[in-house]
A and B are shown apart, each in its own frame.
Chain A
Amino acid sequence: MSSRIIGIDLGTTNSLVAYVDEATGLPRVIPDADGRPLLPSVVAFTPDGIVVGEPARRQLARRPADTVYSVKRLMGRGFEDVKDEARYLPFRILAGEGLVRLAVGGREVTPPEVSAVVLKALKERAERHFGESVEKAVVTVPAYFNDAQRQATKDAGRIAGLDVVRIVNEPTAASLAYGLHRLSEGVVAVYDLGGGTFDVSILRVKDGVFEVLATNGDTHLGGDDFDRVLALWLLEDIAARHHTELDPEAMQELRLAAEAAKIRLSSEERTTLTLPFAGFTYRREMTRADLERLVEPLVRRTLGPCRRALADAGLSAADIDEVVLVGGSTRVPLVRRRVQELFGKTPHSQLNPDEVVALGAAVQAHILAGGITNMLLLDVTPLSLGIESLGGIVNVLIPRNTTIPTSAREMFTTSADGQTLVDLHVLQGERELAKDCRSLGRFELRIDPMPAGMPKIEVTFLIDANGILQVQAKEQRSDKAASIEVKPTYGLNEAEVGRMIEDSFTYAEADVETRMLIEARNEADTVLVHAGRALKQGAHLVDVAERAAIETAVAALRAARSGDDRDRIHEATTAVNRATEHLAEVLMDAALKGALGSRRATEILGER
C-alpha cells in the first residue's frame, strides 16, 4: 500500500488536489486531463448516473433541481440552520430533525455524500497522476468550522474511500504555503474569503513553528453571497423593466451571469450583461461602483471577526507584520481596500488565492509523511467547548483559541436523588446559555442511584490535532466503567456512514463513455433551448429559407439527442449552431438598438 498523502482543498465553489514534488520540495496542484487545476464543487444526479465537476457545472441552469452546488454550506448543519438560505437554492432540502437531507435525482442524499463525490473525483485524479492508488489525504476546512462540520468532512472522506489523516484549517494551510519561502518571521494575519466561508487567523511564525494565536470567522459568508445580492438586484431590475418573473432555470442563468459579471468587475470598471431569456433579451450595463455599493455591507461583516481575532490574540493592527489574502473573493478590489485599511499594510497575494490552500494542505501532508521535519503547525480550536449544567448554563471546559491537541477535566454531580442516567449535553459556542450554543451531541452515562450531589462525575474533553472532540465520563465513587452512547446532533452514526459507503458503489459515478454521452446531450439541450428562444424572438427578422434551415437542423438534433451516438449528437449540435449564427447576430443587434434607443446620446458618447 502506498504511504503517499495528498492535500485536498474541498471548497465551496471549487476543489483542488495537490502534492509535494520530491524533486523540488515544492507543492504542486494536480490538473485534470484538460489541464484545469480547479474542479468545480458541483455534483449532478442524472438518470444516467452521477456527474461531477465542469460537466455538472455546465448543466446547473438546465437541471437546477438535480444539480447540487455550494454543498459545503450545508455540511454538519440542520434544517433550521439553513432554511433561510434554502429559499435561494434550486434543489430541494427536506425538513426534518438532525442533519440536512437533500432530495435530488429521485433519492435522498446528505451533504457528506455529495462532498464524497467531489473527493472521489480528486482521489481518482491523483491516482491517474501517480499511476497508483491513493488512500490518505489531508483535507482542509474553514478555521471557524465547528465540530459537527469537521466530523461531516471526515465522514465525506470515508465515504469516498479516503483516510482523512488530518483536517487542517484553511488559513493556516495557506500560511504554510506562504511560509515555505515568502514569509519572514513575525506576526501574520491571514484573511480568507472564499465562495461560502470567511476566516481570519492571526499567527506567529518563528523558528519554523506556525503558532496560531487566534482565529475567527463566519461560516456563512462568501462570494456566493456577493452573487446573490447582485442577482437579486438584477431580478428587481428585470421585474421593473420586463414585468416578468423568472423560473428556476432562468434564475440559475441569472445567478451564473451575476457571478461572471462580478468577476469581470474585479479587473474592469464597467461591464455589460446580456441574457437571452424566453420572450426577451435582458441587457444591463453595470459599473464597479454598483457592485461595491451592493457588497459593501457583506465586506463590512468580515471586519468584526478580524477585530475580535486581534483582541483575542492580545494584539492591535499595528502589531501585524504581514497580511496574506486567500480565497477567490479577495480578488474583489473593495475587499482588498478594506483589508488594507484595517491592518494598515499592503496585503500579500503572490500565490494564486484559489490554489494556496491546496498547496498548504500538500505541505501539511508532506510533514505528516515525514518529508518535512523543520516546520510545525500549532493550531487552535475556534470555539469554546462545554457541558450544559443545571439551569441551561454552559460550563466551558475548553475556551476558544486554545492550542490543540488539548484536554480538560472537570467534576460534575447530579441534581436529583436516585438519578441513574446522566444526560451529558456537549455544546460549542461563545454564549452563556446552552440554547444559544451549538449542540454537538448527547452522551448518556449510566450510574448507580445515589442521593443528589453525591456522585462525582469526571468529564474529560480531548481535542485532537484535527480539532475534533472526544468526550469521556466516569463516575468516581463507584469507579464503574461508564457506558456511554454518543448521539451526534447534526452528524452521522457509524451505521449510516457504513451504508453510505455501500451506496456510493451502488450509485456509482457514470463511467467515462456515459459521462461523455451525458455531456453531449447537455450541450445539445443548451443549444436547443437557445435556438428555440432565438426563433421565438427573432423569427420575423430572417427570411423564410433561413428559418426553414434552422428548423431542419433543430429537428435533426432532436432526433440525434434521443439516440446514444455521441458523435452524431456532436455533429447535429454544431449544425444547429451554424444555422443560428446569423439569427443570433441579428438579434443582438436588435437588442443593442433597443437599449441605445432608450438612452441619451451623450451617455453613449461618454462611454467610448
Chain B
Amino acid sequence: MFGLPRKLVVDSAELQRRFYALAREHHPDFHQAAPAEERARIEATSALVNAAYRTLRDPIARVEYLVRLEEGRETKEGDIDKPKAPPALLQEMFEIQEALAEARSEAAKGALDETTRATLAEQRESLRARLKDEETRLAGPLSARWDSAAPAERPAILAAFKEALATRAYLRTVIADLTETLDSDTETLSGETDSGIEGRHGSAEAPRTRGGMGGHIGAPHQ
C-alpha cells in the first residue's frame, strides 16, 4: 500500500511522508460531494490507510503483524495455541505472582508494609528494564535478521519472534499487576482487586437462551 519494500526495518520518515500523501488522497474531507456509496467506500479506504500506518509505524506491531501474515491469519482471532514463553520465565513470573497475591492479602488487612512495597517496586523496575531489552531486541537485531534471512532460515526466526512476543506479553501482564497493587495501595484497598477475572457483573441476568458474549475464541487476554 505504501509502496515500500516488505521489510521489518522501515524508514519511518519515508513511511510518514507516504502516509500523508495517501491520507490526502483518500480522506472523506475531500470527497464530500461524492454520492453516498462512493463516500462509504472512501471512508473504508481511509480507515484501512490509517490502520496500516498504525501497524507499520510501530516496530513491535510490525512484528506481530508479520507473524500473523506468515501464519495466514487475518485478525488476532485464531491464536489457538497459547504463545509459549521460555519455561524459566514462566516459573519466575509464577513466583512473582504468588508473592504478589500474598502481598495483596496482607494489604487487604491494612497498608502494604514498606519493605514489601520496596521489593515490589524494585521488581517492577527490573522487569521494566527486561521488557525494554526484549523490545529493543525484537525491533532491532531480530527484525534486521529477518530482512536479510534466506527463506530456509525464516521459520527459526519466526519462532524466535513468537517466543519474544510471548515473553513480552507475560512481562507486561506482571508489570501491570505490580503497578495495580502498588497504586491501589495508595488509594486504600477496597478488596475489589482480587484478580477481578471472575465476573461479579454480567451473566447474572442471563437466562439460558440469552447469555453474554463468550469472548475471543481462545485468544489470550493481554
Contact = CB atoms under 8 A, between A and B. Distances in A.
B33 interface: yes
Interface centre among B78, B196, B197, B199 (most CB of A within 10 A): B199
Given A373-B30, A407-B47, A416-B208, A388 B75 contact: no
Contacts of A370: 30, 32-33
A419 B23 contact: no
A433 B202 CA distance: 10
Contacts of A425: 212-213
Contacts of B50: 378, 402-406
A129 interface: no
A464 B50 CA distance: 12
A1 interface: no
Given A165-B32, A388-B202, A405 B46 contact: yes
Contacts of B54: 402-403, 406
Contacts of A410: 75-77, 216
A368 interface: yes
Interface in A357-410: 367-370, 373, 376-378, 387-393, 395, 402-410
Given A389-B215, A419-B209, A435-B201, A465 B53 contact: no
A414 interface: yes
Interface in A306-334: none
B44 interface: yes
B136 to A, nearest CB: 15
Contact of B199 (A378, A391, A412, A453): A391
B28 interface: yes
B201 to A, nearest CB: 4
A395 B47 CA distance: 20
B199 A209 contact: no
Contact of A465 (B43, B44, B215): B43
Which of the four size classes fits the interface of chain A? 35 or more
B32 to A, nearest CB: 5
Nearest to A407: B47
A393 B51 contact: no
Given A409-B75, A435-B201, A376 B29 contact: yes
Contacts of A377: 29
A390 B204 CA distance: 11
B210 A390 contact: no
Interface in B143-193: none
Interface in B46-97: 46-48, 50-51, 53-54, 75-78
Contact of B196 (A414, A418, A420, A432): A432
B23 to A, nearest CB: 6
Contacts of A415: 203, 211-215
Interface string A411-434: 111111111111111000000111
B221 to A, nearest CB: 7
A94 interface: no
B130 to A, nearest CB: 20
B200 interface: yes
Nearest to A364: B29
B32 A368 contact: yes
Contacts of A484: none
Contacts of A206: 16, 20
A462 interface: yes
Given A367-B29, A368-B32, A406-B47, A411 B208 contact: no
B217 interface: yes
A409 B221 CA distance: 16
A209 B53 CA distance: 15
Given A405-B47, A407-B51, A389 B27 contact: no
Interface centre among B196, B209, B212 (most CB of A within 10 A): B212
Contacts of B23: 209, 376, 378
A489 to B, nearest CB: 15
A457 B215 CA distance: 10
Contact of B200 (A367, A392, A422, A456): A392
B53 to A, nearest CB: 7
B43 A411 contact: no
A390 B212 contact: yes
B36 interface: no
Given A414-B214, A432-B196, A368 B29 contact: yes
A414 B221 CA distance: 17
Contacts of B210: 416, 419-421, 423
Contacts of B29: 367-368, 376-377, 465
Given A368-B29, A406-B50, A416-B208, A452 B197 contact: no
Contacts of B28: 405, 464-465
Contact of A416 (B198, B211, B221): B211
A186 B210 CA distance: 53
Interface centre among B53, B76, B216 (most CB of A within 10 A): B216
Contacts of B1: none
Contacts of B76: 410
B189 to A, nearest CB: 16
Interface in B20-46: 20, 23-24, 27-30, 32-33, 43-44, 46
B206 interface: yes
Interface centre among B53, B203, B213 (most CB of A within 10 A): B213
Interface string A422-459: 11110000001111000000000000010011001100
B215 A414 contact: no
A207 interface: yes
A463 B47 CA distance: 8
Contact of B202 (A367, A390, A421): A390
Contacts of B30: 367, 370, 373, 376
A390 B46 CA distance: 32
A412 B47 contact: no
Contacts of B216: 389, 395, 410-412
A397 to B, nearest CB: 10
Nearest to B201: A392
Nearest to B33: A370
A211 B76 CA distance: 27
Given A209-B23, A368-B32, A376-B23, A388 B213 contact: yes
B25 to A, nearest CB: 10
Contacts of B32: 165, 368-370
A79 to B, nearest CB: 21
A11 B195 CA distance: 42
A406 B212 contact: no
Nearest to A420: B209
24 contacts: A206-B20, A209-B23, A370-B33, A376-B27, A376-B29, A387-B213, A391-B202, A395-B213, A406-B51, A410-B216, A412-B213, A412-B217, A413-B213, A413-B214, A414-B213, A415-B211, A416-B209, A419-B209, A432-B196, A433-B201, A453-B214, A453-B217, A457-B213, A464-B43
Interface of B: 16-17, 20, 23-24, 27-30, 32-33, 43-44, 46-48, 50-51, 53-54, 75-78, 196-203, 206, 208-217, 221
Given A425-B212, A453-B214, 12 more contacts: A207-B17, A209-B23, A376-B27, A388-B213, A389-B216, A391-B215, A392-B202, A402-B54, A411-B78, A415-B212, A423-B212, A449-B209
Per CB-CB distance, the 10 closest pairs between chain A and chain B, nearest first, are A391-B199, A392-B201, A416-B211, A389-B215, A411-B77, A413-B214, A415-B214, A407-B47, A403-B50, A392-B202
Interface of A: 165, 206-207, 209, 211, 367-370, 373, 376-378, 387-393, 395, 402-425, 432-435, 449, 452-453, 456-457, 462-465
